[in-house]
Amino acid sequence: MRRARLRGSQPLLSAFLPLARYFAASAARVAIRSSALGLLATFFWIGLATPNLPYALRELAWSLTSHNGGPGALALFAALGLGLATQAVRRFRVGLTGWARSLPASGVTVRRAVWAGLLIVQAPLVILYLAAVAAVATASIYHAPLAPARLAGFALALGGAAALAGAVVCHALWRRLAIGALAAGAILGATSARWAGVIIAVAALALADRIVGPVRAPGRSAPTRHVRWPSPRTLAITLAWRALGPTLVTNALGAVLPLIAAGFFRANNEDLAPGSAALALRIGAALSLAIYTATLATALAARRPPWRWVRALPWSGAQRVAADAIALGLPGAALVTPVLFVDVASGALTLLHAPAYAYLAAAALRHTNGRPSGATGEALRFGVPLALVWSIWPASLVTLPAVIALAAWSAVRRERSQRVSTFEELHHQTAGDPEWIAR
Amino acid sequence: MRYAYASGAPVVSAEDLEIGGGLTLVLGPNGAGKSTLLRLLAGVEQPDAGTIAIAGHDLWRSEVAARRALVYIPDHPDLSPYATAGEVVQLAGALRGRTPADVRDVMERSGLGALGGRTVRELSMGQRRRVLIAAALLAEPEVAILDEPLEAMDRGMRDTIVAWVRGLADAERTVILATHQLEPFTDFARRALVLRGGGALDLVDPLDADPLARREALGRYARGG
């Protein structure tokens, strides 16, 4: 009865405002951190656009606020806002459990406050700052009429981004999917910069607010029927990727540098012979692939120590190694797949390397004691020379099956002989041990 | 068969040991190497020398066949923090050729019906052990290797586990069990594997038929006597 009364008749602002302030404080901290990144990105953009800065500013101003521009900038800022809100919502969800749930506020009110916080996360960033600059610049400098639909669309796009990111706090899967679809529709409508789109965005957000329901606790998914039946290998790969988590992205940022360098080299040397241009691309892509796979091995070794119990299941060491090799190799393959769009032959030849680096990494992550480097060092010690040889002399790829077989054999041997209990046996938990407490 | 940790001193050392059907209790004081022995028997650790065969299959030459014949419940429920309870049981079920219906059934019987979507981080110690027990119940093992199976279990689950162990032992399956809670198992234990530290290992087979003498002997072995 109490719950029903709270949900049904609670005055909107009495509970909403304190909660919104609470989430706004968290949002502001996230926003301050993000704004540093935003400023950095702005300076980088200005640096890139320096030769044509007035032109670039005018294009930006028009596309954000005037009839003269396209929808590109609006969509870009919506994507930026979505990224920021997605980052922030993780922190907000932590605060939704425990004591906070005992407060006299309905789940719907809490969820609305979360969304308000997600809007605030985006507000002080370069997004609004640049939007304001763009509006002033459009009206006063470029003498172009402001487009109210575009300005409204900008605000609604940020609202859609908040709703899309905030959908994860909603209870029940169907609500999360529905709100996600509605929020995505709102963003599309808002970035179309037409009144019809704005009206669609308003309607979609209003409907989302109606159906979205109360919040759910983080990590506590409702019991679901397991209709899918993943194979052990699929499950093992999924668990490896979950363990890797954000490192799948962060490691790629560094590893992709050789490929970017190869791209710049080609772009700045337009008179290169086709063969030399392809060689540069192959070397850059192969190095990126080898480095990325090798760094993922260290991340996986650190974040997913050997799972002892699984070794007693009817699953061979070779099968476990193969699952790891796929988990490490597929992201690497995805990293260099875009090369196919630049040069099909170079991309295909480089993709052939992926299983070799993956098995080298799978072997390296299984042996971390008694060597001077981590798994990355060991995988690179073999991976980089192989990448160079195979890229420079594609005919040498005939050795590829032998290298894969050798790396797989080494990985399986290490998998079997791993001392998975040594650390636990030699470093017993001392917490609560009276011997230690007395010291 | 011989096994040592980094220090080099053998933790387990045995020659030509064969364990038949029925319940075998692994006894010895703390640190004698009971859990290490069970890990070796379960194929979690590979021995430095020698071989271990489960139901006629070498653990490290016929990995899958040997492991298909055994179930293992470790002393510490080390489950991946990246998996849900349901996924762990699914993994065991898929590897043992079970259907999703079997998995759902065993989850229900183990009191995990509503916990399938929870990650391991969200489970209590007792619930984590239930996950491993549910995975074990999916198998029809020739050999069951159980390390402190009653630890952190409530009364109802203890009764279920003891009944399961008794059923396996009565069916002449090999059950190798290490525990400090001897009472539920003394009546039907057939033999004892006694570890005295430094790798020394004695097989007492059969145990005394007299209940009082058997209880006294098991208590003595558990203290390292």
Q: Kindly indicate the confidence band of residue A263, based on its pLDDT and cuts at 50, 70 and 90.
A: confident
Contact at 8 Å (CB) between B76 and B178? Answer: no
Q: Which residues in chain B have Cβ-Cβ distances shorter than 8 Å to A307?
A: 78-80
Average pLDDT of the residues of chain A? 79
Q: Which residues in chain A have Cβ-Cβ distances shorter than 8 Å to B119?
A: 219
The reply to whether residue B6 touches residue A419, judged by beta carbons under 8 angstroms, is yes
Q: Which residues in chain B have Cβ-Cβ distances shorter than 8 Å to A424?
A: 76
Give B130-179 pLDDT, tens digit per residue: 999 999 999 999 999 999 999 888 888 899 899 999 999 999 999 999 99
Q: What angle do CA A50, A127, A80 make, to 5 degrees?
A: 95
Q: Which of A51-55, B101-105, B208-212 has the lowest mean pLDDT?
A: A51-55
Contact at 8 Å (CB) between A353 and A289? Answer: yes
pLDDT value of position A113:
76
* Six token digits for residue B153: 């279990």
pLDDT value of position B147:
93
Q: Which of A232-241, A348-357, B27-36 has the highest mean pLDDT?
A: A348-357
Q: State the average pLDDT over residues B192-215.
A: 86
More confident residue, A3 or B174: B174
pLDDT value of position A123:
67
Please tell me whether the peptide bond between B206 and the residue prior to it is cis, using omega within 30 degrees of 0: yes
**Residues with Cβ within 8 Å of residue A280, at least 6 apart in sequence:** A262, A265, A266, A272
Interface contact B82, partner A, CB < 8 A: yes
Give A76-107 pLDDT, tens digit per residue: 778 877 877 777 776 676 656 555 555 566 66
Q: What is the reported pTM?
A: 0.64
Q: Which residues in chain B have Cβ-Cβ distances shorter than 8 Å to A417?
A: 46
Interface contact B58, partner A, CB < 8 A: no
Q: How far apart are CA A405 and CA A397, in angstroms?
A: 14
Window B:110-129, CB contacts with A under 8 Å: 113-119, 121-122
Choose among B39, B77, B86: nearest Cβ to A421: B39
The reply to whether residue B64 touches residue A314, judged by beta carbons under 8 angstroms, is yes
Q: Which residues in chain B have Cβ-Cβ distances shorter than 8 Å to A327?
A: none
% pLDDT > 70, chain A: 73
Q: Kindly indicate the confidence band of residue A126, based on its pLDDT and cuts at 50, 70 and 90.
A: low
pLDDT value of position B163:
94
> Helix crossing, A107-122 with A12-49: angle to 10°?
20
Is B74 a residue whose pLDDT tops 50? yes
Choose among A307, A312, A425: nearest Cβ to B80: A307
The reply to whether residue A221 touches residue B68, judged by beta carbons under 8 angstroms, is no
Backbone angles phi, psi at A301, to 5 degrees: -60, -35
Q: Which residues in chain B have Cβ-Cβ distances shorter than 8 Å to A234?
A: none
Give A141-157 pLDDT, tens digit per residue: 777 787 888 888 888 88
pLDDT value of position A430:
47
**Residues with Cβ within 8 Å of residue A223, at least 6 apart in sequence:** B113, B114, B115, B116, B117
More confident residue, A97 or B201: B201
Q: Which residues in chain B have Cβ-Cβ distances shorter than 8 Å to A422?
A: 5-6
The reply to whether residue A416 touches residue B116, judged by beta carbons under 8 angstroms, is no
Q: Closest by alpha carbon to B55, among B134, B172, B166?
A: B172
Is A267 a residue whose pLDDT tops 60? yes
Chain B nearest-CA distance from A105, in A, is: 25
Window B:17-46, CB contacts with A under 8 Å: 35-36, 39, 42-46
Contact at 8 Å (CB) between A146 and A139? Answer: yes
Chain A nearest-CA distance from B211, in A, is: 34
Q: Closest by alpha carbon to B15, among B174, B190, B199?
A: B199
% pLDDT > 90, chain A: 30
Is A297 a residue whose pLDDT tops 90? yes
At position A107, the amino acid (one-letter code) is G
Q: State the average pLDDT over residues A310-324.
A: 93
pLDDT value of position A438:
42
Contact at 8 Å (CB) between B194 and B201? Answer: yes
Interface contact A234, partner B, CB < 8 A: no
The reply to whether residue B78 touches residue A221, judged by beta carbons under 8 angstroms, is no
Place of tokens 């992550």: A365
The reply to whether residue B82 touches residue A243, judged by beta carbons under 8 angstroms, is yes
Q: State the average pLDDT over residues A257-262.
A: 91
The reply to whether residue A308 touches residue B6, judged by beta carbons under 8 angstroms, is no
pLDDT value of position A6:
40
Interface contact A438, partner B, CB < 8 A: no
pLDDT value of position A165:
77
Q: Closest by alpha carbon to B106, among B126, B124, B77, B130?
A: B130
Q: Closest by alpha carbon to A166, among A264, A97, A96?
A: A96
The reply to whether residue A422 touches residue B100, judged by beta carbons under 8 angstroms, is no
Q: How far is CA A103 from CA A168, A169, A309, A323, B35, in A?
A: 21, 17, 42, 46, 47
Q: Closest by alpha carbon to A420, among B62, B40, B68?
A: B40
Q: How many Cβ atoms are within 10 Å of B170's Cβ, its own excluded?
A: 12
More confident residue, B217 or A131: B217
Q: State the average pLDDT over residues A322-344.
A: 94
More confident residue, A103 or A73: A73
Is A10 a residue whose pLDDT tops 60? no
Q: How far is CA A249 from CA A83, A255, A331, in A?
A: 14, 10, 9
B17 alpha-carbon distance from chain centroid: 18
Interface contact A226, partner B, CB < 8 A: yes
Q: State the average pLDDT over residues A281-290.
A: 96
* Six token digits for residue B120: 């391991």
pLDDT value of position A220:
44
Q: How far apart are CA A255 and CA A294, in angstroms?
A: 10
Q: Closest by alpha carbon to A266, among A246, A242, A282, A288?
A: A282
The reply to whether residue A230 touches residue B90, judged by beta carbons under 8 angstroms, is yes
Is A58 a residue whose pLDDT tops 90? no
Antiparallel, parallel or unpaired: β B53-54 and B201-204: unpaired
Q: How far apart are CA A355 and CA A166, in angstroms?
A: 39
The reply to whether residue A312 touches residue B145, judged by beta carbons under 8 angstroms, is yes
Q: Which residues pair with B143 in a beta bridge?
A: B70, B174
Is A407 a residue whose pLDDT tops 90? yes
**Residues with Cβ within 8 Å of residue A87, at least 6 apart in sequence:** A30, A34, A121
Interface contact B101, partner A, CB < 8 A: no
Q: Which of A411-420, B1-10, B146-155 has the lowest mean pLDDT?
A: B1-10
Q: Kindly indicate the confidence band of residue A327, based on its pLDDT and cuts at 50, 70 and 90.
A: very high
Q: Which of A150-164, A415-429, B13-27 has the highest mean pLDDT?
A: B13-27
Contact at 8 Å (CB) between A393 and A383? Answer: no
Alpha-carbon torsion angle B48, B50, B56, B59, nearest 10: 10
DSSP labels for B110-157? TT-TTTTTSBGGGS-HHHHHHHHHHHHHT---SEEEEESTTTT--HHH
First CA to last CA distance, chain A: 55
Chain B nearest-CA distance from A4, in A, is: 25
The reply to whether residue B118 touches residue A220, judged by beta carbons under 8 angstroms, is yes
Choose among B36, B100, B132: nearest Cβ to A309: B132
**Residues with Cβ within 8 Å of residue A303, at least 6 apart in sequence:** A243, A244, A245, A247
Is A222 a residue whose pLDDT tops 50? no
DSSP labels for B41-70? HHTSS--SBS--EETTEETTTSHHHHHHTE
Q: What percent of the residues of chain B are helix, what percent strand, and what percent coil, each to the nearest 5? A: 35, 20, 40
Q: What percent of the residues of chain A are helix, what percent strand, and what percent coil, each to the nearest 5? A: 80, 0, 20
Q: Closest by alpha carbon to B177, among B204, B215, B148, B209?
A: B148
Is B115 a residue whose pLDDT tops 60? yes
The reply to whether residue B95 touches residue A314, judged by beta carbons under 8 angstroms, is yes
Choose among B45, B91, B121: nearest Cβ to A421: B45
Helices and strands per DSSP (H, E), number in chain B: 8, 10
- Residue in B closest to A311 by C-alpha: B44
